[in-house]
């Protein structure tokens, strides 16, 4: 076995606080299992989208107590470097995934041992509530143990700044640097003079605000709700009740938290089949709207009953719907709406017509939350089902967004219309925007190399056309784009017909291509033909991209 690898394993075992993990690594070492040890040590977890995310396993490439302990020490050192007041405290929360409770406890013990005040969630709760509590309690930071919608065996460590938004560079690099240099920490236990459980009053303020803002006075609009085996269930049902929704049916098989996600092909409302149980429940009870949260409830999925069956709303479509009802309410010059470079271009058009300032950011809510600058961010969304509908929470929030979308559905029903009717109105007025995300998974360290090579190959030799449409311009996002900072990826314009963005995922080993094909405004009666034509063009572009982007 490579001596450097052996030394790394021995050093890790010496510092690992978990007896089972130490035994696992020692057994691999004794068995000279170099391949498995390489998997666990060759590519340590790094701070990506505002934190760490990876499989629960022993070693630096996995989420485990030692990784969490070191990351928490990195956060403490980062706070000290910034000269913050530790008495402002850190909010700590967790979801119900494998390892979440143990990792949460590790965070609390390390923070308390360093004399940092801790505001701890009273149990497994939604990620957006951590972001909310950081602002509501005036805390210095927030740490959430979650892997959001990742596969069942993953977990993660998400870090928030004092404004309740996810950290951005160079803060992630600073935390990672200090985490890598971490030594054995002092630990302290609850109860402690530095420890506070977050009280119900704090969560009640959140509920009151959103129930009043997005409340309804109609009680017979039937909704089906699923938290997808995650932690949003009890909170979302309480919000529905407070907002006036009296006819909400839950998907019983998916209501209680379960880290194995037994009824789902993948714990993400975007995935094909993820809402099948919910729509079946809606058919049984006669509901016309399905609302879904991902396992940590920071994302919102939805499906609407239409003339030809269920229509699962894409993230862009939900974004357009929310904008259609929220933009008319924005009257201040400081109001801002925002979306990302990979989301549809339609929000820009809607904002321009409404006279509301529009901002575009790089992918991820860590950038969207800061899009308003000195203004006020009233609405932000990303196509991956992330929505922020109120400045009270500086991150995506699937709970409050669910109330906002449900309220719109109720209001439209009073007029004899539906969410699908509103989408028709939007696209008739602004033009059809046919959208599709191509996602190509590549496993292991070889897969990550293949992803980089695929992007580089397209960078060096971009296609002259895609799906029979000429590529009019190519922008290397590594050089920045329209004032944005550099990021790995390419944007290809297809003249007036649309655009394609190709980039590696920030949270998973995937290469993604975001395709948008557009048509000019037309009468509602022409929409079906336009959508069919655009869909065929999307399919043709997708086929070409599959052939070009081999990972």
- Following DSSP, what letter does each residue of 401-423 receive, concatenated? HHHHHHHHHHHHHHTT--HHHHH
**In this structure, what DSSP letter does residue 522 have?**
-
Q: Spell out a b/e string for 292-327, using b for 16 or more CB atoms within 10 Å of the CB, else e.
A: bbbbbbbbbbbbbbeeeebbbbbbbbbbbbbbbbbb
pLDDT score recorded for residue 293? 98
Active site residue 148: yes
Cβ(216)–Cβ(410) below 8 Å: yes
Instruction: Provide φ and ψ at 253, rounded to 5°.
Output: -65, -15
Give the span between the Cα atoms of 323 and 302, in whole angstroms.
Answer: 16
| Average pLDDT for 150-174 | 95
Q: 537 is written with which tokens?
A: 């063009």
**What is the per-residue DSSP string for 85-99?**
-GGG-EEEEE-SSTT
- Half-sphere exposure in the Cβ direction for 3 (13 Å, CA): 0
358 class by beta-carbon count within 10 Å (0-12 exposed, 13-18 middle, 19+ buried): middle
Closest CA to 497 of 472, 462, 522, 461: 472
Q: Confidence class of residue 507 from pLDDT cuts 50, 70 and 90?
A: low
For the CA atoms of 499, 294, 268, 142, what is the dihedral angle to 10 degrees? 70
448 class by beta-carbon count within 10 Å (0-12 exposed, 13-18 middle, 19+ buried): middle
Summary mean pLDDT of the chain: 95
Q: Which residues contact 483 (CB under 8 A, 6 or more apart)?
A: none
Q: Which residues contact 210 (CB under 8 A, 6 or more apart)?
A: 239, 243, 390, 392, 399, 400, 403
Alpha carbon 372 to its chain centroid, in Å, reads 19
Give the span between the Cα atoms of 318 and 321, in whole angstroms.
Answer: 5
Cβ(497)–Cβ(518) below 8 Å: yes
pLDDT score recorded for residue 444? 67
162: pLDDT strictly greater than 80: yes
Q: Going from the N-terminus, what domains does the chain have, and what CATH number goes with each? A: 1-11+19-38 (no CATH), 43-192 (3.40.120.10), 204-429 (3.40.120.10), 431-548 (3.30.310.50)
49: pLDDT strictly greater than 90: no
Give the span between the Cα atoms of 547 and 439, in whole angstroms.
Answer: 13
Tracing tokens 């699937």 back to the chain, one arrives at: 398
Instruction: Provide φ and ψ at 160, rounded to 5°.
Output: -115, 145
Give the span between the Cα atoms of 89 and 197, in whole angstroms.
Answer: 12
Q: 162 is written with which tokens?
A: 């004092």
Kindly report, residue by residue over 512-529, the tens digit of the pLDDT: 999 999 999 999 999 999
3-state secondary structure of 528: helix
Cβ(36)–Cβ(28) below 8 Å: yes
pLDDT score recorded for residue 226? 98
Give the span between the Cα atoms of 68 and 86, in whole angstroms.
Answer: 20
Tracing tokens 């998400």 back to the chain, one arrives at: 158
Higher pLDDT, 332 or 86: 332
Kindly report, residue by residue over 338-390, the tens digit of the pLDDT: 999 999 999 999 999 999 999 999 999 999 999 999 999 999 999 999 999 99
CA distances (Å), 335 to each of 167, 358, 377, 402, 405, in order?
23, 9, 6, 22, 20
Q: Spell out a b/e string for 159-188, using b for 16 or more CB atoms within 10 Å of the CB, else e.
A: bbbbebbbbbeebbebbbebbeebeebeeb
Active-site hit among 100, 148, 343, 505? 148
Show the 3-state SS of 121-159. Answer: CCCCCCHHHHHHHHHHCCCCEEEEECCCCCCCCEEEEEE
Q: Length of the chain in residues, anyone?
A: 551
H or E, element range at 6 = helix 3-15
506: pLDDT strictly greater than 70: no
Give the span between the Cα atoms of 532 and 521, in whole angstroms.
Answer: 15
**What is the per-residue DSSP string for 461-491?**
S--SEETTEE--EEEEGGG-BTTBPP-S-EE
Q: 171 is written with which tokens?
A: 């803060």
Kindly report, residue by residue over 256-272, the tens digit of the pLDDT: 999 999 999 899 999 99
Closest CA to 52 of 66, 68, 38: 68
Q: How many Cβ atoms sit within 10 Å of the Cβ of residue 522?
A: 15
3-state secondary structure of 196: strand
Percent of the chain predicted with pLDDT > 70: 99
Kindly report, residue by residue over 204-227, the tens digit of the pLDDT: 999 999 999 999 997 789 999 999
Q: Confidence class of residue 449 from pLDDT cuts 50, 70 and 90?
A: confident
174: pLDDT strictly greater than 80: yes
| Average pLDDT for 90-107 | 98
pLDDT score recorded for residue 39? 95
445: pLDDT strictly greater than 70: no
Q: Which residues contact 371 (CB under 8 A, 6 or more apart)?
A: 336, 338, 359, 360, 361, 377, 380
- Report the DSSP beta bridge partners of residue 500: 492, 515
């Amino acid at each position: 076995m490579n001596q450097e690898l052996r030394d790394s394993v021995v050093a890790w075992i010496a510092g690992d606080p978990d007896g089972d993990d130490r035994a696992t690594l020692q057994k691999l070492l004794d068995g000279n299992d170099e391949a498995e040890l390489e998997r666990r040590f060759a590519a340590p977890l790094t701070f990506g989208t505002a934190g760490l995310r990876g499989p629960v396993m022993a070693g630096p490439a996995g989420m485990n107590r030692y990784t969490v302990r070191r990351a928490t020490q990195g956060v403490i050192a980062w706070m000290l470097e910034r000269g913050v007041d530790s008495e402002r405290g850190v909010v700590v929360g967790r979801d119900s995934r494998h390892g979440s409770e143990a990792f949460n406890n590790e965070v609390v013990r390390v923070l308390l041992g360093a004399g940092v005040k801790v505001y701890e969630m009273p149990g497994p709760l939604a990620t957006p509530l951590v972001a909310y509590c950081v602002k509501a309690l005036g805390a210095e930071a927030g740490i959430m143990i979650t892997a959001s919608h990742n596969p069942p065996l993953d977990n993660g460590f998400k870090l928030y700044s004092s404004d309740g938004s996810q950290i951005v560079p160079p803060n992630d690099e600073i935390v990672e640097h200090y985490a890598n240099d971490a030594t054995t920490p002092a630990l302290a236990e609850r109860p402690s003079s530095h420890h506070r459980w977050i009280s119900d009053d704090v969560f009640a303020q959140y509920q009151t605000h959103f129930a009043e803002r997005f409340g309804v006075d109609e009680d017979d609009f039937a909704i089906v709700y699923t938290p997808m085996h995650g932690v949003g269930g009890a909170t979302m049902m309480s919000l529905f009740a407070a907002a006036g929704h009296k006819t909400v049916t839950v998907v019983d098989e998916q209501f209680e938290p379960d880290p194995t996600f037994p009824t789902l092909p993948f714990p993400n409302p975007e995935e094909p089949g993820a809402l099948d149980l919910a729509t079946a429940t809606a058919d049984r009870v006669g509901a016309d709207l399905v609302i879904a949260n991902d396992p940590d409830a920071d994302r919102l999925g939805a499906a609407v009953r239409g003339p030809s069956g269920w229509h699962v709303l894409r993230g862009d479509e939900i974004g357009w719907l929310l904008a259609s009802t929220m933009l008319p309410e924005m009257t201040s010059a400081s109001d801002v709406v925002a979306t990302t470079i990979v989301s549809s271009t339609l929000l820009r058009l809607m904002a321009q017509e409404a006279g509301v300032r529009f901002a575009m950011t790089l992918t991820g809510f860590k950038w969207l939350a800061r899009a308003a600058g000195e203004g006020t961010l009233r609405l932000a969304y990303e196509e991956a089902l992330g929505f922020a509908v109120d400045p009270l929470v500086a991150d995506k929030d699937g709970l409050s967004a669910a109330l906002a979308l449900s309220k719109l559905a109720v209001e439209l029903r009073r007029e004899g219309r539906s969410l699908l009717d509103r989408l028709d109105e939007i696209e008739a007025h602004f033009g059809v925007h046919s959208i599709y995300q191509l996602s190509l998974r590549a496993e292991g360290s070889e897969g990550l190399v293949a992803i980089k090579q695929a992007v580089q190959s397209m960078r060096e030799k971009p296609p002259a056309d895609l799906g029979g449409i000429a590529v009019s311009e190519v922008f290397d996002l590594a050089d920045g784009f329209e004032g944005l900072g550099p990021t790995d990826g390419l944007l290809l314009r297809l003249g007036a017909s649309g655009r394609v963005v190709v980039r590696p995922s920030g949270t998973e080993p995937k290469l993604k291509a975001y395709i948008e094909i557009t048509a000019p405004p037309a009468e509602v009666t022409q929409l079906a033909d336009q959508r069919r034509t655009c869909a065929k063009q999307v399919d043709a572009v997708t086929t070409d991209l599959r052939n070009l982007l081999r990972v």
